[in-house]
Amino acid sequence: MRLPEARGPLTEELLGALRRPAGAQRLFGAGMALDTPAAALSDEDLQLGLWIGYELHYAGFDDAAPGWEWDPELMSWTRALEDRFATALRDCVPVPALPGLRPGEPIADRLATLVEADTGPQLSRYLQSAASVEEFREFVTHRSIYHLKEADPHSWAIPRLRGRAKAALTEIQFDEYGAGSVSRMHSELFRATMRGLGLDDDYGHYLDRVPGETLAISNLMSYFGLHREHRGALVGHLAAFEMTSSTPNRRYGKGLRRLGGDTTATRFYDEHVTADALHEQLAVHDLCGSLVADEPELADDVLYGAACALHLDNLFATRLMDCWTAGRSSLRPVGSAVLAAP
C-alpha cells in the first residue's frame, strides 16, 4: 500500500515527513485544534492522520521512509491526535452510571442490556431488501478498510491477558485466521466478496475513498489495542462486535444473493452467521467474564469499549443511510482533498 493523499494540514504535514528520513523531522501538528471534541469522530484530516500513524504498526506503506514506526516525534504527534480522539469518545459515549457488579453478577448481563438498548439505523435491513448493487458495492468498499485485516487489532490483546481470557481470545482468533488454512481466513473470504462485486481486493486500495466515520471504526480498535491500559475496552469492543454480527451478516448474505451474488461472493457473510454465534458466547462469557473475574476493576472499561463500538457503528450507518436517501454516494469523490459533511 502506498501513502494516501492528504485531507488537510495535519495529513499534509505528516505525509511530507513520512517520505523523508525518520529522526530528522519535526511535526508541529498544524491545524490540530477542532471546534468541538465531537468533531474528531468524523474529522477527515484527524482520522486519516491517526489511521496512518497506526498503520505503521500493521502492514505499513511501501513509499514511507524506514524507521518511522517508533520515531519519538511521530509517537508524540500520534498521541496528541489520540488525546483528541479519546476526548471526543468520552464526550459522545458517556459511561452509564451503573453500580458496581454485585458478587456473582455476570458481565454478560450488562453487555446484553447495552446491546439491547441500541437503536441505531437498520443498515443491514436496508442492504438485505432495498439496496442497489452500487450501494452494496459502496458498503463493501467501506468495510474493506477493516475486513482486509480482520482480527488483527484485537490480537494485540493476546499477550495482555492470562488464563481463561487469553485462551478464549486465541480460540476466537484461530477461527478468524482460518484455523490454519489461508483460504478460510476471514480476510481472504472478504477478498472473494470484493472480487464478486467487481472491486479491487488489494489491501488499502480504497483508502482515499472512505470518509472519517469509516476510518474511526478501525482507529477505535487500534487505539484500544495498542495500549495495555485499554485491554478491558478492547475485549468489550470485541464482545459488542460479535454480539451484533450474526443477524446482520445473515441479512447481508441475503441482500447480496438478491443482487445476484454467488456462493463464493456470499461465503464471507454466511461464515459469520455461524462463526459469530459461537464467538459471541466465547467473547461475552469466557473472554469478558473471565477478565472481569480476574480483574474486577476493568468491568467499566469492558462496558465502555462495547458502548464505543456501538456508537461509531451507528455514526457510520447514519452516514451511509443519509447519503443514499439523498441520492448521492457515501464515498469520497476521487481526487478530493476534504469531503464536506453530508
Instruction: Using the structure block, give the residue that is written with the C-alpha cell 485544534.
Output: 33
270 and 147, same domain (yes or no): yes
pLDDT given at position 341: 35
Q: Which domain holds residue 67?
A: 9-92
Indicate whether 99 belongs to any domain.
Answer: no
Tell me: do 113 and 14 sit in the same domain.
no
Tell me how crowded residue 279 is: count the other CB atoms within 10 A of its CB: 25
Note the pLDDT of residue 145. Answer: 98
Q: Does one domain contain both 163 and 218?
A: yes
pLDDT of residue 33: 65
The reply to whether 100 falls in a domain is no
Q: Are residues 45 and 158 in the same domain?
A: no
For 175, other C-beta atoms within 10 Å of its C-beta total: 18
Identity of the amino acid at 255:
G
**88 and 111 both lie in a single domain:** no
Q: Residue 176 and residue 186: Cα distance in Å, rounded?
A: 6
CATH number of the domain at 255, please: 1.20.910.10
Q: Do residues 68 and 112 share a domain?
A: no
183 and 280 co-located in one domain: yes
For residue 100, what pLDDT is reported? Answer: 61
CA–CA gap between residue 135 and residue 273 (Å, rounded): 22
Separation between Cα atoms, residue 99 and residue 3, nearest integer Å? 46
The pLDDT of residue 101 is 64
**Residue 140 backbone phi and psi in degrees, to 5:** -65, -35
Closest alpha carbon to 12 in 339, 341, 338, 332 = 338
Kindly state whether residues 63 and 128 are assigned to the same domain.
no
Beta-carbon contacts of 80 under 8 Å, excluding residues fewer than 6 positions away, are: 29, 32
Which pLDDT score, from 0 to 100, does residue 257 have? 98
| Same-domain check for residues 236 and 282 | yes
DSSP structural state of residue 8: S
- 194's grid cell: 470484493
pLDDT of residue 276: 80
179 and 226 inside one domain: yes
Q: What is the pLDDT of residue 339?
A: 37
- Beta-carbon contacts of 209 under 8 Å, excluding residues fewer than 6 positions away, are 141, 331, 332, 334
pLDDT of residue 70: 96
Distance CA 327, CA 105 (A): 48
- Whether residue 88 is found in the same domain as residue 113: no
List per-residue pLDDT tens for the chain, 342 residues long: 999 999 999 999 999 999 999 987 788 765 566 667 778 999 999 999 999 999 999 999 999 999 999 999 999 999 999 999 999 999 998 765 555 666 667 899 999 999 999 888 899 999 999 999 999 999 999 999 999 999 999 999 999 999 999 999 999 999 999 999 999 999 999 999 999 999 999 999 999 999 999 999 999 999 999 999 999 999 999 999 999 999 999 999 999 999 999 999 999 999 999 888 889 999 999 999 999 999 999 999 999 999 999 999 999 999 999 999 999 999 999 765 443 333
Is residue 341 a part of any domain in this protein?
A: no
Contact between 42 and 323 under an 8 Å Cβ cutoff? The reply is no
Residue 330 forms part of a structural domain: no
Q: Would you give the DSSP letter of residue 283?
A: I
Give 183's DSSP letter: G
The tally of domains found in the chain comes to 2
183 and 266 in a single domain? The answer is yes
